[in-house]
Structure formats: structure tokens, C-alpha cells
Chain A
Amino acid sequence: MSESLSSATQQVEEAPAARPAEHRAGRLGLDLLDRWAGPLLLVAMIVAFTIASPGVFLTSSNLLAVVNNQTITAVVALGLLFPLAAGVFDISIGGVLTLSVITSAWTFQQTAGSMPVPLAILITLLVGSSAGLVNALLVVRLGIDPFIVTLGSGSIFLGVSQLVANGQVVSRDIPTAFTDLGRGELFGIPNPIVLVVVLALIVFYVLEMTPLGRMIYATGFGREQSRLAGVPTDRILVLAFVVSGFCASLAGLVYTSRIGTGQPDVGAQYLLPSYAAAFLGSTMIKPGRFNVPGLLVGLAILAIGINGLQLQGIPFWVISTFQGGALILAVVLTKLRKLSVRADG
């Protein structure tokens, strides 16, 4: 309080003058560009690759393959939106995904294929959600940095997967009733795509159309301030980690049911694209917030960019480079945006 006893004098502030009308119109244009630059880029890429690879890029088989390839990343990333929106990192999702792949495959292998499919799915989802709960308790109860917690726990989940799988591919006795789920179609659309659409709608609903979503964002923008304003921030964080773990194990189920085997090292490859897509998505549609439409556009930019470049004959190394570049670009864009908001004030 002594600060306030003595420094009241130099903080007299005045409200900024009203902005002239033409300035405001200019701002509106900038706002629109801010929101829609990402989707515009996507359209431009599609046009460019269509011209560059005529008859190859813009075919339904190629596009369906591109989308289908992204379903696992999409499921992981949709779950990841919860911790990111709540202001915490969860980098254990790769480990959780691996653990879920091994869990589902292993339950069939151990029971010689007699394990009922719904029960195997339930067990797997429980394992994934529990992994998220462990993260949450370490972060909330012990106050450990989420980045460190999930870096460590992700490695543990990977280690447990390797232990369970005994370092080998788990592939015996996986029933076709299970693989049919991953390989089947609904009205001509592959099941995993249907799953992504449904999940995206649910996540969108929760984040945008419920008080819970608003409280998740508030926790992310200012945890202590929100807590003091009455938001149950601890519970929000627990929820965010559990949802993230749940979605990562859902992605693991998609993987096992599609590939039909469980490899104890699959998860890592989905970590970076999920983050790249989420951060890219946070620069568009609702700039400054992790949002579902932005995430989907971000995923599409990554997938189509890589696919289009590969069709041009650019080889394997483009994937990592492109994803890493997109992640950094997204963060740079966010930083620039924050600077411009401040300069504006």
C-alpha cells in the first residue's frame, strides 16, 4: 500500500479521444484481413497447386486422402485446444496417444481377440483420461509448471507403452469388428472423418456457446485474475487436461483401428502438427484465441501445403520443415498482432 500512498500523483490518465470515422473504417478493413487472411491463404494455395499439378492435385481421391490423413492429428489437436485455451501446455499427448494405441491392441492380444470391442474402447479412453488427470493433479495440486509436468509424464507414458508392448509391435488377435470401425464408411465418408466432424462440432459448442468455454478462455488469459473474479480455475485446468488426454486416446483408437497394429512409437509424430495447427488457427477467424474453425483451416493449410509440394516432387524432408515453419510463423504473427494492439492504445 505504501506504493499507493505516494504515487497517486503521476498516474492521472485521460480517456483516449474518439477515433475519427475514416480511421475506424480503415481499422474495420484491417480487422477483416486479420480474421480471414488464413482462409484466403488456403484458397490461394489450392488454386496455385491446381494450376501447378493439373489433373493430379484437385481430384476427389487426392483430396479425400489428404483429409483422411489428417484425422488423427485433428482429433489430438481438437483436444489440445482445451489446455491451450486455458493457458497451459500439454505436450504429453504424443505419449498418451502411444499408450492408447498399445492399450487397445494389447487388450485384444491378451484375450486372444475375445475382448468385446466396446469394452476395449472404454478401457482405452479411461486410460487416456486418467493420464490427463495425473497431469492435472501434478499441475493443480503441486503447482508444477505444466510444460515440465507433461514433458516428463509424456516420456513416462511412452516408457510404459514400450514396457507393455515389450518393445515390439502388438498385432495379434485384433478383431475385424474393431478395424472395421477405422476402415469403414458412413454414407461414403470414411468413419474417421465423420468422427472429426462430430468432435469439432462438440468442441466448438463447448468453447463458443457455453459459460464453461468462456471460463476456459478467461483462465487462459489471466488465471489469478479469473480465480479472484470467481472462476473455478483449478477445476477448469483439471477438465482441460482430462479432455486433452481423452482426445489423444481417441486418436490412438483411430490409429489402431485403421492400421490394425499397435506400434510403441507412433505418438511423437502427431505432437508438432497439432501444435502448429492450433497456433496457426489462433491467428485467424478469432485472432488471439485458440478456436475450432481456425484450427481446421490451420490443419488444411499444413496438409495441403505438404501434399501440394510433394506432388511437385519435393521430397520427404518438407513435412517437418513446413510444420516447424508454420508453428514459428504463427507465433510471430500473434506477437505482431499484440504489438499492434498496444500501439493502437
Chain B
Amino acid sequence: MTTDDTAALELHGIVKTFPGQRALDGVDLTVARGEIHALLGHNGSGKSTLIKVLSGFHQPDDGRCSVAGSRLRFGDGVAVSRAGVRIIHQDIGLVDELSVLENLRLGVGTYRAGTLGAIRWRGERSAARARLDDLGLGHLDPDAEVAGLSAVERTEVAVARAIDDPDAIRVLVLDEASAALPEEQVQHLFRLVRTLAARGVGVVYVTHRLEEVIDLADRVTVLRDGVVVLQESVSTLTREDLARVIAGSEVGAVHETDRATGRTTGAPVLTLHDVVAGRELAGASLSVREGEVLGVAGLAGSGVHEVVRLLQGRAPLHRGTVAVAGAPVARPGVRSLRRLGVAVLPGERDQKRITGMTVAENITIADLSPYWRGGRFRHRAERAEAVALVERYRIRPPDVQRPIELLSGGNAQKAYVARLLRTAPRVLVLEEPTHGVDVGGTAEILRLLVEAARNEGTAVLLCSSDTDDLAATCDRVLVLRDGVVADELTDKEITRERIVELCYAAG
């Protein structure tokens, strides 16, 4: 067998288990030289774990990997790179303040230097020029500052940087590289990917945009729950086929009993009308009622995250109105929204955790007024309430004096939920509240939300990519696409499959 017949990348029987969960269960993936292979799968399907196994970040429990016919040892990032594998993540890691040239040379070996060690910029510049031309990126100026580039140009720079030695590159993995790109710019990226594939590089293209798969890829692999559920040539497939396969076919009503029905008659507490905000929202309207759990689903870039940022008071409102209890909020800012009773649990941990303070202090910080009696802070009353909340929300270990950073992700998350619910908000907005939380913790967090809605009449906006959570708890689910509310599901229509299908539906 000549070397040219060997596959660029061959993953065989990859198994990876995390405590309480099998993330990958015997995944095979072969990418031929010059092939563009799309890798698809919804939240938690295992595609991200698979990439991390390939990059050397995760050590798999079982399986093997070859690049261009030679066996690759797992868990060794340097060996991966030396074998000619390059991985580009969505967060492409360019330094804005530096030029294209400086970014291309970032962290890669040494510069060409003259006497006294001074960099020979002219030589560097012409080398960069040649490299960019070679990749069909002649429109990029090596001296341009990266901050001034368009989104796709930045991605191009990131790819050009990864292709430091065109002859040595065997496999290029683009992990959601197009997620931040506007529709019309994606074609530029496609051209670059095709150029590389034409030279025999095997490309693994991770995306959630199904039309890109149809346009660009030769073959496709779909993962669901850690197994390959589809692996074939793209030419015979339609985007509807793909959406169906990603969603899965089994009936996914998980714990239907949690969901109350008919909770769609209360007065609207929070209303967004024709909202254009931040970078993503392009005329979205929605309304959540008293005592209702409203799910908001959508892929990255669909506007779900921007809804959360808007209600935090962090995304600029360009057009439209945000109204709480019928009254428009003139300038939706952090303080004004909080005063109106809109409480937000952001997805990012570093927006929630006050490191260095105790569990009790983290819970009570949102409102200290109950402890301010007779001119002094009643530490004992604070402690008693924190102990009661830790007990009620089953935060483990039940030690309110412990620094918050010593809690596990799930328990810390329950503490942040307690922080918000303690203030008896009118509207509770949660972004990925069960992300990274184990099964037991997830069930408890969802129970707390439903209780708040049912017992306190809180309007709950559950923004989640976990379709099981949405299906299990929501009275209604809205699906966002391209910055607008594209679909609404109620009652029996709310199933995991339906939500995923609509997330991936065409424009």
C-alpha cells in the first residue's frame, strides 16, 4: 500500500467515560486525504469530547488513532501537532492589537534576525506575503492591525497561522469556525477550506449550520449520545434528513409529570416587542406570563444569549421595547432591571461567583436589607437564613462558611439560584442553569424553577440548549433563529426532537 492511499485521519473505537456518563461509546471516524468531513451533533452529543480526545486534552478509555497511517499516542498535544494535526476553535485566539504578520508569527519559532538580533521585518513581510498568497489570501495586508479586520478575515488569519508548514499539515479541524461569521462571508471561508482540501489535507468541519454541510462537505458524521448515528456521503442527503437524525427519533418526553399544563393564561409580566439589540437580536418579540415557565431555544448566534444579555442590562437596545408588568423600561440597565424584579442567572460562571467570599455571603449579597436592624448587621440572622436555604436547596456540603470556590459546579449553581430566588423576583431569567451539573443536581434545579413559578407566580424564562430540560419543564417553548422568534411550541408539541428540528430548520 502506498502512503497516498492511507487516510488522513483514522479514529477507531474511541470510548470516553466521565463520572456518571459515557460521553463517547466506540466512535469510528475516517477522513480521507482531500476530504471535507462534517461533524454534527446537538448539545451533549459528544462531538466536543471527540475533538478534545484528538487534540490530546482528554485521554480516552479505549480506541486508537492514526494520522496519515502512523499511530498517534493519545494525551500528547505536542505529538498531535508534530503529526500534522491543526485544530482551530471558535475562539480563534488572535491578538487584536498586533498586525496580521505578528499574529502569523505568534508563538511559532523565532523571527528572522539580522546582526544584534534585530528582526528583519522586510524578510518577514515577504515570507508572510508569500504564505498568504499561497493560500489564496492575497487580499490580506500583513501590516494591517487585526482589530480592523472583518470576522471572516480574522478566521482566515487564524487558518493561515495554523498552516505554518503547508507540506506537513495532514488534518485540519475547524471547530465551529463559522459560528461568528455573517452568512455572506462564509463563502470566503469555504474557498479557503476547499483550497486546503485540494492539496490533500483532510478537513474535519464542525458546525451547526446544516446548509454549510450540504454546500461544503463530502461526507458527514452525526453523533448522538456518544454514538455515531449516521456516517455517509452528503450528496444523497437533505438538510431535513440531517435535522431529523440529529434530533433522534425516540420519543423523548422525559419527566412529563413535572410539567403543568394550561399555565398560559396569567398576565404578561415581561414583554419584548420587536427588539433589535446587541449583535444578534433582529426584531424579536416575546412575552412571559405570571407563573409560566417559558423555554427559549436556539443555536449559537440565534439570539438566545443576546436575550439574556439584554435582560441583564448589558446589551444595547437599538430598537423596540422591553416592558415589565406592562410598563416600558426606558433604559434597560443592570440596576433598573433589577429594581423592577428581573433577576438573571447568566451562563458564564465568572459572572456569578464572588471568589473569596463564603457560600452564605454569595447567597445573601443580592439583598442585605433584612439583616440591617437597629444599626448593626445581624450576622446570626444572615447565617440562619443561609443555613435554611442550603438545607432547602440541598447544597452540599451543607457548610455556609465554606469559600464558594470549594463547591462543585452543580452545588455552586444551586447557591446562585438561591441568591436569585431569595429576592422573590417577578421575572427569573436563567441561561444554561444545568450546564455542567450532574443528573441529581439538574433535577433539583429544575424543580426549584417550577416551584417558583407555581407557588410564587414567578415568570420564568429558561434559556437552554438542553432540550431535555426544556421538554421536561416548560409550558411553552420559543425557538429563535436569526435573531427573531421563529416558532412557538405548546403543550404536547414540546418534545426534544421537535425543538432540535426547529433549531436547525431553514431560515
Contact = CB atoms under 8 A, between A and B. Distances in A.
Given A1-B304, A9-B48, A232 B376 contact: no
- Chain A binding surface SS class: helix
Contact of B365 (A6, A9, A15, A226): A226
Given A4-B347, A11-B436, A229-B366, A222 B355 contact: yes
B286 interface: no
B42 interface: yes
Contacts of B158: none
A4 B466 CA distance: 9
Nearest to B406: A345
A144 to B, nearest CB: 18
Contacts of A143: none
A187 B405 CA distance: 49
Q: How many of chain B's residues touch chain A, expressed as a range? A: 35 or more
Contact of A15 (B44, B49, B396): B396
A332 B191 CA distance: 53
A6 B465 CA distance: 9
Contacts of A13: 19, 408-410, 436-438
- Chain B binding surface SS class: loop
Interface in A212-235: 213-215, 217-218, 221-222, 224-232
A321 interface: no
Interface stretch (B193-201, B256-264, B367-375): B367-375
Contact of A2 (B21, B176, B369, B371): B176
A166 interface: no
Given A5-B43, A214-B377, A341-B403, A222 B409 contact: no
A213 B377 contact: yes
Contacts of B23: 9-10
A12 B19 contact: yes
Contacts, number: 156
B256 to A, nearest CB: 22
B485 to A, nearest CB: 16
B338 A6 contact: no
Interface string B354-395: 111100010001111101100011000000000000000000
Contact of A10 (B20, B52, B305): B52
B504 to A, nearest CB: 12
B5 interface: no
Contacts of B489: none
Given A210-B372, A228-B334, 15 more contacts: A2-B90, A2-B176, A2-B300, A6-B41, A9-B48, A13-B437, A16-B406, A218-B365, A221-B354, A225-B352, A228-B352, A230-B335, A230-B365, A230-B366, A344-B406
19 contacts: A1-B299, A2-B299, A5-B42, A6-B47, A8-B466, A10-B49, A12-B19, A12-B20, A13-B436, A13-B437, A15-B397, A16-B406, A205-B376, A208-B377, A210-B372, A217-B357, A217-B361, A226-B365, A228-B352
Please give me the 5 A-B residue pairs with the lowest Cβ-Cβ distance, nearest first: A2-B300, A11-B436, A211-B368, A6-B48, A345-B406
Interface of A: 1-16, 18, 205, 208-211, 213-215, 217-218, 221-222, 224-232, 288, 341-342, 344-345
